Structure 1
Amino acid sequence: MSVKIGNIDLGEFPLLLAPMEDVSDPPFRYVCKKNGADMMYTEFISSEGLIRDAAKSRQKLDIFEYERPIGIQIFGGDIDHMREASEIASAAGPDLVDINYGCPVKNVVCKGAGSSLLQDIDKMVKMTEAVVKASHLPVTVKTRLGWDDNTKNVYEVAERLQDVGIQALTIHGRTRAQLYKGEADWSLIREIKRNPRIKIPIFGNGDVDSPEKAANWSMEYEIDGIMIGRAAIGYPWIFREVKHFFKTGEHLAGPTIEERIEVCRTHLDKSLEWKGPRTGIFEMRRHYANYFKGLPDFKPYRMRLVAEPDINNIYSILEEVAEKFADYDATKVLA
C-alpha cells in the first residue's frame, strides 16, 4: 500500500531526506534526489527570520520543480510568528509545511523553539493548530522521544498533534538530552505505530546508515518509511543502495571513483550556480572529506581542496584524484 501525506503519494516505503542545517540546501538535495530520495525537506527556517524578511531565511525558501515532493521546515517559539511564517512558507509553493520540534541545539532551544516545545505540550499543540489553520498545504511534524529519559512524551504528542490536523509525524529515536549521542531507540516509535488511534504515517529517524539496518528496522519497528540524515552526507548513494536491498535482498556495489568524482563535481557546480562562486566554493569545503571517505592517503588532496579559492584549480585537483585512484576499487569502501 502506498504511503500518502494528504494527496502526496510517496509509494510503498518511502525514504525521506532529513532537514539538516547547513547541509540540506538545493545543491545537496539535487544529488540525493538523483540517487533515489522519495521526499526531501529544506534546511529548517526561522519563523522570526521569515517575518523580518532576512535574506538568509528567504533564500532557504528556494525550491525547484525536480525536487518534488518537498517540504519547507519552519521553527520558532512564538505561536503568532509561526502562524505568519507558515503563510509565507506556503506561498513559496512547497508540497507541505513541516514543523521542527526536534532540534536540540542550544541557541534554538533557549528561544523556546525546536525540542524545547517537548517541555510544553499544550503550547506545542496550540502552535501546531495555528500552523495547520494558516496553511492550505498538509502540515507534518518532526520531533524526538521527549526532553529527557524521565519525560518521553511522544506517545501523547502523536495523538494530540494528529487531533489538531497534522498529516504525518517523523520521530527521531533520541531525547533532547541525548543530542546525537548514544544509540537511537525506536521501540517507542513502534508503540506509536501500533496505537489504534494513530492513522497518519509514522516515519522513523536516527542511526539508519546501512541497507541492512533500514530493512531490518522497517520490519522490526513497523514504520511507514525511514528518514535518513547524516548517513547521506557525502554519500547520497545510500538511498539507491537501500532501495536495491529492499527489492533484491542483495547489496548494490558502492560508488566507483568515477561516480564519486562526478557526483562531487555536480554538487559543486550546483553550489556555484545557486550561491555564486565565492560562497559556493567556501560552503562546498565541508563535503569533500565525506565524498572521498575511506580512500587511503586522501588527506593531502582534501587539504588542497579546502584551501583552494579558484574553481578551475579545484576541478584540476578532482581530476588528479581520479587519476591517482583510477585503479583503486572504491566500491568496497564503507560509507
Structure 2
Amino acid sequence: MTATIKPFSIGTVELEAPVILAPMAGVCDAPYRVIAHRYGAALVCAEMVSSQGIRYRNQHTEELLHIEDGEHPLSMQIFGSDPEVMAQAAAVVEEAGADIVDINMGCPVKKVVKNGDGSALMKDLPLAEKVIRAVVRAVSIPVTVKMRTGWDDASFTAPELAKRAEAAGAAAVTVHGRTREQFYSGKADWQKIKAVVQAVSIPVIGNGDVVDGPSAAALMKETGCGAVMVGRGAQGNPWIFPQIRHYLATGEVLPPPTAMERYEQMLSHFEALLAYKGEYIGVREMRSHASWYTHGLYGSAALRERINRAASADEFRSIVRDMMDKAR
C-alpha cells in the first residue's frame, strides 16, 4: 500500500494505522487474529478471558492465553470485578506475551453481568476505578478499558467512567456506542462516543457500525476518536481492514473481494483452524465462519446447509472446491 495514514499510539505501543480488530468470543481466536493482521489490522484483540479462570488455571482459559507468531501487536482482554484477582490475571496476561491488557467493561451477556462483571461495572464506577487502578499497578504494559455508553438509555456513564479510567492510569479507552440493554440491536450512538472524546485527554477508540471504509472515516470525523475498532464487520471479512486503510488514506473505495477470493480465503482459514484445534473442533467451528464468508454469494444458503452437515475435513474441502469450480 503506497498511500499513508497516521499511526496511532496506545501508551508505548505504536500502531501503524488506526484500525483495530475487536475482541469477539468465538471469532477472534489465534488463527483469525493472524489472518486479520496479515490483511492490515494494526492491532488484534483476543477473545475475553475470565480472571477467575486464570486464577484457577482453567484448561480452556489457559488455551485462550496462547499466542501465535504473527499476532503482535496483540491486546488480550480480561473480565472480572475483583480488583485483586484482576490484577493477578493481568500479570499472567503480560507474562503470556500480550502487548496490551484490556479490561472488559462492556460485555452485555447475562452470565457475565450477573456476577457484576462486564457492563455491570458501568453501574458501580468506584469499583470500576479500583479494578483499573489495580490492573495498571500490576503490569508494565499499557492498560485499556472497553466500555459501552452505559447500562441503559437512562444511564450515560461512559464519560465519567472514561475520566476515572484516565485518572487510574489507563492508556486508552474504547467506547461501543450502544447501551448494555441494546446488546447489538439498533444503531450505535456516535454522539455519545464524541462526548467521551471531549471528556478525556487519553486516546479514545470508537466502536459500533463500522462496516467499510466510508463508515470508519465517518465515525472518526463525527466523534473525533483516534481509531476505529471493527467487530461484526470483520466476521468472515478480513478485507475490511485494507478497505478501511485505503479509504482513510485516499478516499477511494476498494472493490469487494470476488467469490473466488472469498472461497480461497475460507479454505486457508479452515486449514489454519485445523492445525490449531484439530479436525473435530475445526470442522464444527468453521461452520460459523463459513456462513460469514459466503454471505450474499449465489447459492450460499444451499452451500451453508451442505457445510453444516460436513463431518470431516475432506468433506468440507470437497464442498468448497465444488463451489470454486462453479465460480470459475
So what's the TM-score if we normalise by structure 1? 0.94
Q: Distance in 1 between matches of 2:301 and 2:154?
A: 44
* Structure 2 counterparts to residues 109-188 of structure 1, below 5 A: 109-188=113-192
Contact kept? 1:30, 1:267, Cα under 8 Å: no
Q: Distance in 1 between matches of 2:303 and 2:108?
A: 34
- Within the candidate set 4, 7, 13, 2:9 is matched to 4
2:252 corresponds in structure 1 to 250
Contact kept? 1:31, 1:266, Cα under 8 Å: no
1:71 corresponds in structure 2 to 75
Contact kept? 2:54, 2:62, Cα under 8 Å: yes
Percent same amino acid at aligned positions?
Answer: 39
Q: Distance in 1 between matches of 2:308 and 2:158?
A: 41
1:302 corresponds in structure 2 to 304
Contact kept? 2:81, 2:127, Cα under 8 Å: no
Q: Distance in 1 between matches of 2:47 and 2:175?
A: 17
1:330 corresponds in structure 2 to none
- Within the candidate set 50, 53, 57, 1:53 is matched to 57
Unaligned regions of 5+ residues in structure 2, if any?
1-5
Q: CA deviation at 1:37?
A: 0.6
CA shift digits 1:55-82 (9 cap, x unpaired): 1111111112311110110001222211
Q: Distance in 1 between matches of 2:148 and 2:119?
A: 7
Q: CA deviation at 1:199?
A: 2.2
Contact kept? 2:81, 2:128, Cα under 8 Å: no
2:3 corresponds in structure 1 to none
Contact kept? 1:155, 1:192, Cα under 8 Å: yes
Q: Distance in 2 between matches of 1:259 and 1:296?
A: 14
CA shift digits 1:95-128 (9 cap, x unpaired): 0100000000000000110000001000000011
Q: CA deviation at 1:160?
A: 1.1
Q: Distance in 2 between matches of 1:210 and 1:252?
A: 10
Q: CA deviation at 1:85?
A: 0.9
Contact kept? 2:51, 2:89, Cα under 8 Å: yes
- Within the candidate set 32, 40, 43, 1:28 is matched to 32
- Within the candidate set 39, 48, 53, 2:43 is matched to 39
Q: Distance in 2 between matches of 1:248 and 1:323?
A: 35
Q: Distance in 2 between matches of 1:281 and 1:177?
A: 34
Q: Distance in 2 between matches of 1:166 and 1:25?
A: 25
Q: Distance in 2 between matches of 1:162 and 1:50?
A: 26
- Within the candidate set 207, 212, 215, 1:210 is matched to 212
Unaligned regions of 5+ residues in structure 1, if any?
327-335
1:185 alignment partner AA: D
1:332 corresponds in structure 2 to none
Q: Distance in 2 between matches of 1:200 and 1:93?
A: 24
Q: CA deviation at 1:303?
A: 1.3
CA shift digits 1:7-43 (9 cap, x unpaired): 21113x5111000011110111122112111101110
Q: Distance in 2 between matches of 1:248 and 1:285?
A: 36
Contact kept? 2:83, 2:131, Cα under 8 Å: yes
- Would you say 1:269 and 2:274 are equivalent positions? no
SS in 2 for 1:88: helix
Q: Please identify, of 17-26 and 242-251, the stretch whose mean Cα deviation from structure 2 is larger.
A: 242-251
Q: Distance in 2 between matches of 1:269 and 1:200?
A: 40
Q: Distance in 1 between matches of 2:206 and 2:248?
A: 16
2:281 corresponds in structure 1 to 279
Q: Distance in 1 between matches of 2:202 and 2:38?
A: 28
2:269 alignment partner AA: H
2:295 corresponds in structure 1 to 293
Number of aligned residues: 323
- Would you say 1:317 and 2:322 are equivalent positions? no
**Segments of 4+ moved more than 6 angstroms:** none
Q: Distance in 2 between matches of 1:136 and 1:216?
A: 34
CA shift digits 1:122-173 (9 cap, x unpaired): 0000011111111121111100111111110111111111011000100000
Aligned-residue CA RMSD (Å): 1.2
So what's the TM-score if we normalise by structure 2? 0.96
Contact kept? 2:266, 2:290, Cα under 8 Å: yes
Q: Distance in 2 between matches of 1:21 and 1:216?
A: 27
